[in-house]
Amino acid sequence: MSENLDPFTISQKQLYDACKISGYDNQIYNALKTPERFVEIKITMKMDDKTLKTFRGFRSQYNSARGPMKGGIRWHPEESASLVKALSAWMTWKCACVDIPLGGAKGGIICNPKEMSNRELETLARNYIRELADIIGPNIDVPAPDVYTNPQIMAWMMDEYEKIVRKHAPSVITGKPLPLGGSAGRSIATAQGGVYCIRDATKDLGLNLNGATVAIQGYGNAGSWAAKILQDSFNCKIIAVSDSKGGIYDENGINSHEAALHKEKTRSVIGLKDTKQISNAELLELNCDILIPAALENVITRENVDNINCKIIAELANGPTTPDADQTLFKKGIHVIPDFLCNAGGVTVSYFEMVQGYYRYFWTEKEVFEALDRVMTKAYRSTIDQAQKYNTHNRMGAYIIALERVINAMKLRGWL
């Protein structure tokens, strides 16, 4: 039988397994397995060429027991209701795992932003917020960027929300540009948080980061910053990187800054001088110390897991590994830093952005990263400790911590 790759089914299976390991019964699982609210919207708008186009969008509000819900907005041709629900579940477990006082949500629009003009992107952003204004807000649900959305899109969304509520409300959204109340370090934060985990994992494994070989799938916000930090601060050797068009390889090391500049100029990393072109599939199977999936979900599956050949997998992407592959990686002794721990730096600094927004008092980048390091180091250590205590893989370790916190909050509220 082939593996079920439906993202929401996968997130429910992980939750089911975590409930079993933690000793929660089916009633608890049933209370947790679906979002509190799921909204589907339609946006019809005039494109630059005067044609009318209709888009479908979503917002999934998964769990609000621990605080206002939080989650990014993804604009992608392959976006789906199932994926948005799964991502909203993972946001819930993520905020609980790193112990920030927020619930989980996620949003998206099925579209291809690469084919749209700036005016079209702005119209789409403002329409999305007009449709959802009643159910988002600084104390309800706070969106942020995700794949193919960025600080400019967050700025338009914040402005539209403020026009509707007729007052300043910068904490309605995070990932804003700095002049509009963004946080120092926010665009680097996802990668920086992951790097703190990688640093601690290499200590656990007795692996020297200096000269360690790294392959990164996805060279957007998360992936490209991870490459730059690992190269500049730890002298890692980045042997391969990729994007949606394919990958590049150089056993002597790719200069991460040159790769970013090349992608900015040509829209792909492919063609960077002195590198060999490889496919995304080949990149995942390279012999390296650290493999970083930083693009989309379901890339390490039953089909390719036997060929994965690294010591650490640091999941900056959400949902890159299927449950079947998780079991095999555990048996192979590959140290996985699971997604909702590894990429939690983004939402943690988003939370710092909300806090700074409330006070209208802003921290330096150094202060932001010191606070982030404390959060990530603690969450990494508790995850590994739980996994060892229950003799399970690290993803289950992270689930055990997250579930306990969410269930406790629900019980205290009288929901369970």
Would you name the residues annotated as active-site residues?
A: 106
Residue 148 in the binding site for ligand NAD (CB under 6 A): yes
The residue whose Cβ lies closest to ligand NAD is 220
- Contact region with ligand NAD (CB under 6 A), list: 14-22, 58-66, 113-121, 310-318: 310-318
At closest approach, how far in Å is the CB of 187 from ligand NAD?
A: 8
How many whole angstroms separate alpha carbon 102 and alpha carbon 96? 8
Task: Using CB under 6 A, pick the residue from 127, 280, 301, 386 that binds ligand NAD.
Answer: 280
At closest approach, how far in Å is the CB of 345 from ligand NAD?
A: 8
Task: Using CB under 6 A, pick the residue from 143, 346, 357, 397 that binds ligand NAD.
Answer: 346
Print the SS3 string covering 180-243: HCCCCCHHHHHHHHHHHHHHHHHHHHCCCCCCCEEEEECCCHHHHHHHHHHHHHHCCEEEEEEE
Whole-number Cα distances in Å, 34 to 85, 104, 279, 391, 395: 8, 12, 36, 28, 20
Residue 218 in the binding site for ligand NAD (CB under 6 A): yes
How many whole angstroms separate alpha carbon 404 and alpha carbon 401? 5
Question: What letter would DSSP give residue 252?
Answer: T
Residue 79 in the binding site for ligand NAD (CB under 6 A): no
Residue 75 in the binding site for ligand NAD (CB under 6 A): no
Phi, psi of 415 (to 5 degrees): -80, -20
Here the tokens at position 127 are 């329409």
Residue 322 in the binding site for ligand NAD (CB under 6 A): no
At closest approach, how far in Å is the CB of 104 from ligand NAD?
A: 12
Residue 71 in the binding site for ligand NAD (CB under 6 A): no
Task: Using CB under 6 A, pick the residue from 197, 236, 317, 407 that binds ligand NAD.
Answer: 317
Whole-number Cα distances in Å, 259 to 16, 272, 368, 394, 398: 41, 7, 27, 32, 33
| Residue 180 region by backbone torsions, left for phi larger than 0, else alpha for psi between -120 and 50, else beta | alpha
- Contact region with ligand NAD (CB under 6 A), list: 143-151, 160-168, 176-184, 231-239: 143-151
Smallest CA-to-CA distance from 132 within 36, 55, 35, 58 is with 58
Residue 351 in the binding site for ligand NAD (CB under 6 A): no
Among residues 193 and 323, whose Cβ is nearest to ligand NAD?
Answer: 193
Residue 242 in the binding site for ligand NAD (CB under 6 A): yes
Residue 236 in the binding site for ligand NAD (CB under 6 A): no
Residue 291 in the binding site for ligand NAD (CB under 6 A): no
Here the tokens at position 178 are 């700095």
Answer for the pair 346, 193: CB distance below 8 angstroms, yes or no: yes
Among residues 60 and 217, whose Cβ is nearest to ligand NAD?
Answer: 217
Here the tokens at position 83 are 């994926």
Residue 177 in the binding site for ligand NAD (CB under 6 A): no
- Contact region with ligand NAD (CB under 6 A), list: 292-300, 354-362, 374-382, 405-413: 292-300
Task: Using CB under 6 A, pick the residue from 177, 220, 253, 271 that binds ligand NAD.
Answer: 220
How many whole angstroms separate alpha carbon 31 and alpha carbon 406? 11
Residue 353 in the binding site for ligand NAD (CB under 6 A): no
Residue 260 in the binding site for ligand NAD (CB under 6 A): no
Question: What letter would DSSP give residue 267?
Answer: S
Here the tokens at position 24 are 């929660």
Residue 294 in the binding site for ligand NAD (CB under 6 A): yes
Residue 217 in the binding site for ligand NAD (CB under 6 A): yes
Please work out the total of residues on this chain that contact ligand NAD, with binding judged by CB under 6 A. 24
Among residues 222 and 334, whose Cβ is nearest to ligand NAD?
Answer: 222
Among residues 113 and 138, whose Cβ is nearest to ligand NAD?
Answer: 113
Residue 146 in the binding site for ligand NAD (CB under 6 A): yes
DSSP 109-143: EE--GGGS-HHHHHHHHHHHHHHHGGG-BTTTEEE
Task: Using CB under 6 A, pick the residue from 73, 197, 295, 384 that binds ligand NAD.
Answer: 295
How many whole angstroms separate alpha carbon 116 and alpha carbon 311? 40
- Chain residues that interact with ligand NAD, rule: CB under 6 A: 145-148, 190, 217-223, 242-244, 280, 294-296, 316-318, 343, 346
